[in-house]
Homo-oligomer: A and B are copies of this chain.
């Protein structure tokens, strides 16, 4: 019994010393130049493993009772001391964490990161943002940071065991950077990625070609650009909760004469695994309500555009039940276009969260899980073969592929010739994917 108590104390000691180490290590991070938060995680893991194996070794010895009573007492005292110290340090660490301090990462010299109300410090320096409150670039950066934070926090609130987003703030050698937030293997969300990026530089050739091919008039020569956007894909665990994707972006291109072109793009769309008409109606209605005050033609026009865009030609089916999608929006004026985009971005949470809450505890079986995995395979097909954003991102030199590919599900499946039997729930959703529906009977 005494042995067992000693072992527990030693264990606690080790756990506490790990916690203390964590505090020191992370506090230290605030002041040092760190290469990469991933590196920090690795060091953390290494040290944790080393401590654990040491503790195990001691446990084994103790159980074998190879220690004298005096040695055991000494270990007990050391263990208890470390335990108390560790707890105090853990509390300090927790308080530090609440300030949500993050580091700049990926091959750049990290700046001292001050406290922020967002997921991380903005990519553009706070002073620059504050000094240019009327500049659309800065306004859009503030908007996407707010949207990212609100959305991440509302998803975190749905998790039952306190799972949080991992935050990676990264900088781009060629200019700008981004904040990638990923929640993986949660109990409600299997994989959720919410990304913002603020990048500038010269337009890559591929991008110029792509823009011209859809009708943009762009001058010859080098074209400096600025792009800011938020993009998210949420893959829930329960097959009764649909997957959602949204993306809102602002683009500026300046030609050699100094003439500036700007436009907005974006959209929100839903991919259910099983059809629930109420969900689809609620989703579309919320989007319509966000569009209508700005222009009554927007919702029907952008709904159709969405159906056309999120389409998998080789399977002749849509990716999901649609939503809205638009690009090259440069009217009626910058102010009103921004207001519209802001409304759309703010409608994501009310369009989606009620669906999560309603279905996250729905019962389901292996049949539903298998179907969900197959449908996720289709999602991968669309994103890797057809999605303009993904293709453009991956073909751009220096692109951060981990942020681009966070949209892919944790698990996906491909079966040869899986065709649902007529009359099943699986056949019902396929039916809707083959013939996009006018959800609001307009």
Interface residues, chain A, with chain B CB atoms under 8 Å away: 38, 42, 45-46, 166, 168, 180, 182, 184, 191, 193, 313-315, 373, 377, 380-381, 384-385, 391, 394, 399, 401-402, 404-406, 408-417, 419, 421
With A377-B408, A384-B384: A417-B402 Cβ-Cβ less than 8 Å: yes
Checking B38, B373, B384 against A380 with a beta-carbon cut-off of 8 angstroms, the contacting residue is B384
Known: A384-B384, A385-B385, A399-B314. A414 touches B409 (CB 8 A): yes
- In Å, the complex CA distance between A416 and B394 comes to 16
Give every chain B residue within 8 A of A391 (Cβ-Cβ). Answer: 385
Q: Which residues on the B side are within 8 Å of A45 (C-beta)? A: 421
**Chain B residues in 8 Å Cβ range of A377:** 408, 412
Chain B residues with CB under 8 Å of A314's CB are 394, 399, 401, 404
Which residue of the partner chain B has the closest CB to A46? B421
Contact residue among B166, B184, B411 (Cβ-Cβ distance under 8 Å from A412): B411
Do the beta carbons of B416 and A193 come within 8 Å of each other? yes
Judge whether B384 and A416 touch: CB under 8 Å. Answer: no
Residue of B nearest to A407 (CB): B414
Among A168, A404, A409, A417, the one with the most B-chain Cβ atoms within 10 Å of its Cβ is A417
- Given A384-B385, A385-B391, the answer on whether A419 and B315 have CB atoms closer than 8 Å is no
- Assess A406 versus B413: contact at CB under 8 Å? Given A384-B384, A394-B385: no
The docked-state distance in angstroms from the alpha carbon of A412 to that of B415 is: 12
A421 surroundings in chain B (CB, below 8 A): 42, 45-46
User: How distant is the Cα of A381 from the Cα of B401 in the complex, in angstroms?
Assistant: 12
The residue on B at minimum CB distance from A411 is B413
Contact A413 B415 (CB under 8 A): no
> Considering the chains assembled together, what is the distance between the CA atoms of A409 and B193 in angstroms?
24
Bound CA span A415–B38, Å: 13
Residue of B at shortest CB range from A418? B402
- Asked if A417 contacts B38 (CB within 8 A), the reply is yes
> Which residues of the other chain, B, contact A184 by a CB distance below 8 angstroms?
415-416
Q: How far is it, in angstroms, between the C-alpha of A405 and the C-alpha of B409 when the chains are bound?
A: 18
Looking at the complex, which one of B313, B373, B401 makes contact with A315 (CB distance below 8 Å)?
B401
Q: How far apart are A19's CB and chain B's nearest CB, in angstroms? A: 22
What B residues does A384 contact at CB under 8 A?
A: 380-381, 384-385
Question: Given A385-B391, A401-B314: A415 and B410 within 8 A (CB)?
Answer: yes
Asked whether A166 lies within 8 Å of B416 as measured between CB atoms, the reply is yes
Q: How far is the CB of A201 from chain B (nearest CB, A)?
A: 18
Given contacts A46-B421, A184-B416, A384-B384, list 4 more A-B pairs with CB under 8 A.
A166-B416, A314-B394, A377-B408, A380-B412
Which residue, of A384, A399, A401, A416, has the highest number of chain B Cβ atoms within 10 A?
A416
Minimum Cβ distance to chain B for residue A38 (Å): 6
**Residue in B closest to A166 when the chains form the complex, CB atoms:** B416
Question: When the two chains form their complex, are residues A410 and B410 in contact, meaning their CB atoms are under 8 A apart?
Answer: no
User: Complex formed: what's the CA distance from A391 to B385 in Å?
Assistant: 8
Flag if B410 contacts A412 (CB, 8 Å): no
Q: List B contacts of A38 (CB < 8 A).
A: 417, 419
Establish whether residues B406 and A416, one from each chain, have CB atoms under 8 Å apart when the complex forms: yes
Q: Give 14 pairs: A residue, B residue, CB < 8 Å, sorted on A.
A: A38-B419, A42-B419, A42-B421, A182-B416, A182-B417, A191-B414, A314-B399, A377-B412, A380-B380, A402-B417, A406-B416, A410-B413, A412-B412, A412-B413
Query: Within 8 Å CB of A401, what residues of B?
Result: 314-315
